[in-house]
């Protein structure tokens, strides 16, 4: 049970690949409103995810590796959130990959997806540096 995430991750990647969520052409057609296949993929994820999360919450699920209770809380709205959402959307449109599909793209051998992985890592690191500096400044304010 401890390593159940490996086959589940492989299954998730396989399903993403079969659904076309790792194909650049599908993203281009999606953003040009020529082929809405990925809308159905995303919609299916929402339809499966909402009751799935409700079941996890009701069952008081625990993390597989640590056994700690999983906390399912909403993220509070902040001033930075809309800008971050726009940045994610622009990045998604420019590279034709979201953080969930880019690792599957790398697994398929699409080496150009490595640039996206590096961009995600640098962006996450940059956000952490910015957020820590902001926290330091706010704790030093009179």
Q: What is the pLDDT along the chain (142 residues), one digit of tens a residue?
A: 567 778 888 898 999 898 888 888 888 888 888 988 888 888 998 999 999 988 988 888 888 778 888 888 888 888 888 888 898 888 887 888 888 889 999 989 998 899 999 988 998 899 889 888 888 887 776 6
**pTM for the predicted model, two decimal places:** 0.71
CA 57, 58, 62, 64: dihedral to nearest 10 degrees?
-90
Domain count, the chain: 1
Predicted local confidence at residue 106, as pLDDT: 92
Residues 6+ apart with CB under 8 A from 17: 104, 108
Backbone angles phi, psi at 69, to 5 degrees: -60, 140
Query: Which residues span the domain enclosing 10?
Result: 5-140
Answer for the pair 20, 41: CB distance below 8 angstroms, yes or no: yes
């Amino acid at each position: 049970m401890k390593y159940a995430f490996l086959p589940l991750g492989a299954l998730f990647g396989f399903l993403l690949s079969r659904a076309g969520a790792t194909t650049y052409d599908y993203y281009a057609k999606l953003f040009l409103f020529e082929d809405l296949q990925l809308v159905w993929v995303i919609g299916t994820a929402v339809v499966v995810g909402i009751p799935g999360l409700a079941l996890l919450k009701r069952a008081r699920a625990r993390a597989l590796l640590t056994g700690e209770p999983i906390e399912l809380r909403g993220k509070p709205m902040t001033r930075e959130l809309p800008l971050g959402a726009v940045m994610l959307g622009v990045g998604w449109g420019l590279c034709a990959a979201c953080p969930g599909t880019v690792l599957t793209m790398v697994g398929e051998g699409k080496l150009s997806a490595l640039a996206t992985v590096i961009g995600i890592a640098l962006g996450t690191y940059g956000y952490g540096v910015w957020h820590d500096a902001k926290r330091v400044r706010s704790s030093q304010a009179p």
